[in-house]
Structures are given as C-alpha cells and as structure tokens.
Chains A and B, each alone.
Chain A
Amino acid sequence: MQSIDHHFLDDYACRNALRGIDTRIKLILGLGAILIAISADTPYAPLFIALILSMVIVFLAQIPARLYLALLLIPASFALMSVIVILFLTGGGVPILTIPLPWFTLTATDAAALHSLIILSRAIGGTCGLLFIALTTPMIELFSILRSLRLPDEFIDLAMLLYRSIFVIIGEAVAIYNAQVMRNGYSSFRKGIVAISMLASSLFIRAWDRGEELMTAMDLRCYDGKFEILEPSSAPTISQILPVLLFFSISGLLAFLPLPFPPL
C-alpha cells in the first residue's frame, strides 16, 4: 500500500519491550529530552540526546532499526527546505559559499553554517525525544495521564472516541482505495482528483453513520458523559528513576555549560 499511511507508530508502541515501564517516567524522559534539546545553544546536548535515545529505542525497546531510520527521515524534507533558507539568510563572519543566480547572489557565511548546524541538531534531538514517546508509550496509557491533568471530561472522551474512530475508518479507506486502484481510479491526475473526492465523501458518510450507531450503543450501556479509565497501578521504581536522572544531568550539563562551539 503506497498511498495510505496506515502503519501507525501506536502499533509498535503496543508491542515494544519497554511497555511495562511506568508511563509517567517514559513521558518525563521524552518531554525532558525535547526540552533540553531545544534549549541548548551548542549541538553537543541535542546530539548526545539523539544518540542515547536512539540506542534506547533500538536496543531496549527493540524497535526494528530499519523502521526507526525511516521514521527519522519523515521530517527530513521540511528540515532541508527550512535549513537552506536559514543558511542563506542569516549572516555574520566570512563567506564560505556563494551561488550567483541571474537576479541575485546567494551567500552563506561560516557563522550562518554554524547556526544552521545548531538548529538542525536541536531538531534531530527533539525528533528523537518525540519518537521515544511515540514508540514506547501506547496512546491508551496516555489517556489516564490526561485525566490526571484535570482536562475537561468532554475533551478526553472526544480524544478517546476519535482515537477509536481512526482505526475504524482507516480500514474502510484502505478498502475503498484498493477497489479504486483496481478500476484504474488513479490512472490520471484528473481521475485521481475525482476518485479521492469520492473516497473522502463516502468515507465521511460511513463515518457519520458509525457515529450515530455508536451513540446508540453507548446509550444502551448507560453512558453518562464520562468514560472511566483504569488508573496505572505500578509506581516507578528507583532502578528506573536513576538512569533517567543520570541522563538528564549529563545532557543538562552539556547544554548549559559554556562549552566552546565551534570546537577550535
């Protein structure tokens, strides 16, 4: 299946080897890593975070390395386009690269190159933190955390119903899409537009019918405006907390010590 992305990271999160670890500690590790990565002024801390978290994801959580690498490349097109703009826009220092174009000249200086390098490494470190949460923590476990944050009940119920609905209607989308491909639905650009509109509209109508049926089902089971969620029973152990603290202190030191950059 080329065109519908239905292999969600949640599938892998449900089967990862760190599933049994307390949700809060995984969430704190991921969010803390993101926070330290984007606050750093040098690339050392973000790259350290990227390295350690990648090893944790591949070796401890046992996510296939090939899949993990493919995931790291998802934001690559955004990163590439934006970093090119930053490289040629910010200045200072000595020009290292000039590209003469017919109407103006693009110049990249060494300071701009270092600046782009820092931004890129922050983005890589942050992405590793995001992928750590995405690949080790199934969404179902996050709902109880949301509840404890005192967000409105309607909002959490909406998020849970939405989560469930995604899996229901993505299956239908894949079925319709396959049927359309078999009938040459996407053989030209024009046909493709018509086909995808038909797919989306029949999906919408089916989804809507499902929603109405779901309400009936929920009413029959005495839904009163709040789903109950089982609270997590396990508490984080000291052997889980210590490595996280160690990780935070090293990356924090790397981020906030006045280390020289560039290292010359």
Chain B
Amino acid sequence: MHIMEGFLPSPWWQIWFVLSAPFVIMGFYALRRMVRENREALPLLAVAGAFVFVLSSLKLPSVTGSCSHPTGTGLGSVLFGPFIASVLALIVLVYQALFLAHGGISTLGANLFSMGIAGPVVAYAIFVAGKKAGINEIVTIFFAAAFANIVTYVVTSLQLALAFPAEVGGIMASFMAFGAIFAITQIPLAIIEGLVIALVFKYIVQLKPEILIKIGVLTQERAERLREGWA
C-alpha cells in the first residue's frame, strides 16, 4: 500500500524520512560487509531486488480486483535479513515511483518505513522465532509474508492517522477509520501473499535448494527433511 505523492503534509513526510534514515544507513554498512565477504553477493542481491519489483507489478488473483499487488519484502527479509531488505526496498520504491507512478518522492520516507522497515523486521522476527521453535519452514514463511503485509498496512494507516487526526476521538479514531477502509483489500491480500510466498518457497526447496542452503536460510539436513516429507 503506497501513500501517493504529495499526500502527507509537513512535518510528517520529513519525520518519516528521519525515522527511516538509521535503518538505511545500517543497511549500507550491512551491504558493504556482505559485498566484501562475498563478491558474488551484489548481482544476487540485484536479481532478488528485481524479483521483488517484478513480483510487485504482478497483479494477484484477488477478491476485490482492485490495485492488489504483493509487497514481496517479506521474502527479501527472510533471505537477506531486515537491513539489506530495507536497502533493496529503498531502490525498489524509487523505481516503482519513477516507472509505475506508485508512491512518490516526498512520501518515500513514509513508504520505506512501512514497506521496507516495519514489514521486513516483523517477517524476519517471525522467521527466526519459527526456526528456533522448530516449526516447519513453509508454515513460518506463510506467517512471515502475511504478517509483513499486514504490518505494512497497519503502519500505513497509522501514518495517515498521525497526519490527519479526527475531530472527535483524535488519532485513534482516525487510525480505526483508515484501518477499516484499507482492511477491505489488504486482509485478503495478506493471506494470498502468504500463500503465494509459502508456495514459492516450497517450489524453490523442491527445485533448487542449493540457493537457500548457500545463503544460510536452510541447512542441508532441513532441506532434505522437507523434501522427504513431500515425496
């Protein structure tokens, strides 16, 4: 859910830039470290980012039929961690604004915070927690991707509510109103995105688990266990 160009008034668009900046700077350092350690990382990150971009320009089969597209950042975060995911999201958001007129430049900070920071952090936390608890990876991926989407939409509603509080009931009432109106499209979308990303993960494990083992998302034995389970 992109906030459109020009929609957030001062000082809110500046505030979200300032709040997003530390994560992006951390992301720059994480990126530099990753490239130093492994020279192959850069082109692989690039194709993963391009994949997120292409995924977000696919229209999902959805109940409402309106502008429903996946955020895709959940997968990026699970694969590379939340800081790298926020750098990828920054590039993807700029390209979405300039190539597809989704989102904008002044609202880049706010959109980055909801889609590139809050969503990925939650997805990563869910994935790590699920891994520790020994839950099946496919199930964890479903929840990670679905919640990344839901958190994104909750944060977007909050951003709009802070900028436009209600006359009666203030920020809370406004938050509920924005939340309710976006829920119509976003809740089914989150579930669909969770399903799709979980299936994508399953197919990758079936067809080319080496990728996931190489970047440390799965261990060799976990991948084999998962594949035996489906055989």
Which A residues are within 8 Å of any B CB, using their own CB? 3-6, 8-10, 31, 34-35, 37-39, 46, 71, 74-75, 77-79, 81-82, 84-86, 88-92, 112, 119, 122-127, 129-131, 133-134, 139, 152, 154-155, 157-159, 161-166, 168-170, 173, 186, 189, 192-194, 196-205, 207-208, 210-212, 214-215, 218-219, 225
Name which residue of chain B comes closest to A163, CB basis: B95
Tell which of B3, B39, B54, B182 touches A173, judged by Cβ atoms closer than 8 Å. B54
- Do the beta carbons of B181 and A85 come within 8 Å of each other? yes
What is the minimal beta-carbon distance from A256 to any residue of chain B, in angstroms? 13
- Do the beta carbons of B5 and A201 come within 8 Å of each other? no
- Do the beta carbons of A75 and B101 come within 8 Å of each other? yes
B residues near A164, Cβ cutoff 8 Å: 46
A residues near B208, Cβ cutoff 8 Å: 205, 208
Number of A-B contacts (CB under 8 A): 252
Tell which of A78, A92, A173 touches B58, judged by Cβ atoms closer than 8 Å. A173
Name which residue of chain A comes closest to B208, CB basis: A205
Which residues between 48 and 64 of chain B lie within 8 Å of chain A, taking CB atoms?
48-51, 53-55, 57-61
- Do the beta carbons of A165 and B50 come within 8 Å of each other? yes
Interface size range on B against A: 35 or more
**Among the listed stretches B102-110, B116-124, B146-154, B221-229, which one makes contact with chain A, having 4 or more residues with CB under 8 Å of it?**
B102-110
- Known contacts A38-B9, A193-B199: does B47 contact A155 (CB below 8 Å)? no
What is the minimal beta-carbon distance from A201 to any residue of chain B, in angstroms? 4
Which residues between 27 and 53 of chain B lie within 8 Å of chain A, taking CB atoms?
28, 31-32, 35, 39-40, 42-51, 53
Which residues between 1 and 29 of chain B lie within 8 Å of chain A, taking CB atoms?
1-10, 13, 28
- Do the beta carbons of A31 and B105 come within 8 Å of each other? yes
A159–B214 CA distance with the chains assembled, in angstroms: 23
A144–B60 CA distance with the chains assembled, in angstroms: 35
